[in-house]
Amino acid sequence: MNPEQLSQRIALIEAILFVSKEPVEPGRIMEFLGIGDIEEFEAILAAMEKEHLQERPERGLILKRSGGGLQLVTKPDLHDELKQFFTVKQSTKLTLASLETLSIISYRQPATLAEISDMRGVNSSGPVKSLLQKKLIKIVGRKKVPGLPALYATTQEFLVYFGLNDLSELPSLEELTELFEEKEQPSLFK
Amino acid sequence: MMEAEFAGYQVQTEFFEGPLDLLLHLIRKNKMNIIEVRLSQITAEYLSYLESKRGINPSRESEFLMTAATLIYIKSRSLLPKPENPAEESPEKQLIHTLIEYEKVQKISRMLQEMEYTELLLWRRLEIDENFANREYALKEVSAFQLAEIFFDIVKKKENEQFLYISSKNYSIAEKQAEILALLESSGFFDFSVYVARLDSIEEIVVSFFTLLEMVKRHLLVAVQEQLFGTISLYKNEAGKLEN
């Protein structure tokens, strides 16, 4: 691949990602460009990140890989100024109840409402409904027990929202324990 | 530097998320090990929180009370002489098991929260203008189950209405089907809840609903829902017509 060809390909990938609302599957781009070799494609992406986006201080975008795809997003240090420009006061974050519910579903999926409520010790229909509306979880079937309760699992949007490529990227429970071992558990209350 | 940055996602909650949250808080506060914790020791403290309603979400009070009952039961058991049966699942063991599991949930939640925080710093393309996307494309086909849910909702609403007369009319599925097809012929599609709300009696609603289900099953109709919990629209299925 000569430098001119490389530039052309990078330009095209950038344009595709710019127009796409959702992460674009690398396979689709590879097929379109007629690249069969994943390493060749990775080399193009690496060049794109290094020489055109991530490492160029005058660029505001970076190449992000999450949700199993490629996407252009803004650089994290521009966050505050973007918030000012678009007069966004507070980014909407998930509530603690929603996060807990999502924790259970992401590690035990598919899970029923009863299982989630049992583990949290409180009825969780509220957060489940709000997560369904946010499309972070979906109904994947019904459990073959009396009442045929719905089974919930995480969605593609969940992966994108938390910057994951697939569920295997979530740390295992053992790793998680180590992760938080040294840190003093901060109290939420004063 | 890092700490200042991470201060952004620290959540100050007014309330404990639930009884398990409060119990874990008490265990940590008393520097107890969760595996060796004697629940009977923190029962008094738990009850004092409940009494003063400190950090207790009023809408969750019943759940806090239920755990209080379990704690008191555990305490009363510990006061009684008991034949030691290690194979038996004591309520104390059960509660401690739940607490250990819940502690994991809290850890995962904190991790997800940190991930959310990092991701929120990255801005993505905003939703593309509605006109840009082909409207048909965004529609999602709904299942008979979702249709049924809406149906029961409407029946409940209808039940509360007063009817002035008792209709003696009989409805048949064949008649209804002809009526629905005629309606679709003229308007192309209709909104399920609007259509059902217009009907006169529960009997007519039931027959109409059966007709719709039958027609969806025979691929004469397609039911689509544009968004979750949104209304359901019914379209004529051209392909289905050919088959029949």
DSSP H or E segment with residue B225: strand B221-225
With an 8 Å Cβ cutoff, is A94 touching chain B? yes
pTM of the model: 0.63
Chain A interface, best mutation among B59, B122, B146, by max A CB count within 10 A: B122
Q: How far apart are the first and last CA of chain B?
A: 70
Measured in angstroms, the CA of B142 and the nearest CA of chain A are apart by 12
Measured in angstroms, the CA of B74 and the nearest CA of chain A are apart by 17
Which tokens hold the place of B115? 């991930």
Q: Residue A65 forms beta bridges with which residues?
A: A70
B128 has pLDDT over 70: no
Nearest C-alpha neighbor of B188 from the set B150, B146, B226, B221: B221
Residue A140: burial class (beta carbons within 10 Å; 0-12, 13-18, 19+): middle
Q: How many CB pairs under 8 A join A and B?
A: 123
With an 8 Å Cβ cutoff, is A64 touching chain B? yes
Q: Residue A184 forms beta bridges with which residues?
A: none
Per CB-CB distance under 8 Å, the chain B contacts of A181 are: none
Nearest C-alpha neighbor of B62 from the set A117, A112, A2: A117
Contact (CB<8Å) A179/B60: no
Contact (CB<8Å) A94/B125: no
Which tokens hold the place of B52? 């003063």
Contact (CB<8Å) B112/A99: yes
Nearest C-alpha neighbor of B23 from the set B3, B9, B5, B43: B43
ipTM of the complex: 0.79
Name residues 113-152 of chain A within 8 A of B (Cβ): 118-123, 132-133, 135
The alpha carbon dihedral of B230, B236, B240, B244 has a sign of: positive
| Closest in B119, B127, B229 to A163, CB measured | B119
Per CB-CB distance under 8 Å, the chain A contacts of B98 are: 118-119, 121
| Cβ-contact A70, A17 below 8 angstroms | yes
B138 has pLDDT over 60: no
Amino acid A101: pLDDT? 95
B133 has pLDDT over 70: no
Measured in angstroms, the CA of A1 and the nearest CA of chain B are apart by 31
How sure is the predictor about B185, in pLDDT bands with cuts at 50, 70 and 90?
A: confident
How sure is the predictor about B127, in pLDDT bands with cuts at 50, 70 and 90?
A: very low
Nearest C-alpha neighbor of A162 from the set A123, A106, A112, A121: A106
The per-residue pLDDT string of chain A (190 residues; one tens digit each, 9 = 90 and over) reads: 788 888 899 999 999 998 887 889 999 999 998 888 889 998 999 888 887 777 788 888 889 888 778 989 889 888 888 888 877 766 678 889 999 999 999 999 899 999 999 999 999 999 999 999 888 999 998 999 998 999 999 998 899 889 898 888 888 877 777 766 544 444 444 3
Per CB-CB distance under 8 Å, the chain B contacts of A93 are: 9, 113, 116-117, 120
Which one-letter amino acid corresponds to residue A124? S
B3 has pLDDT over 50: no
| Cβ-contact B141, B224 below 8 angstroms | yes
Arithmetic mean of pLDDT, B61-68: 88
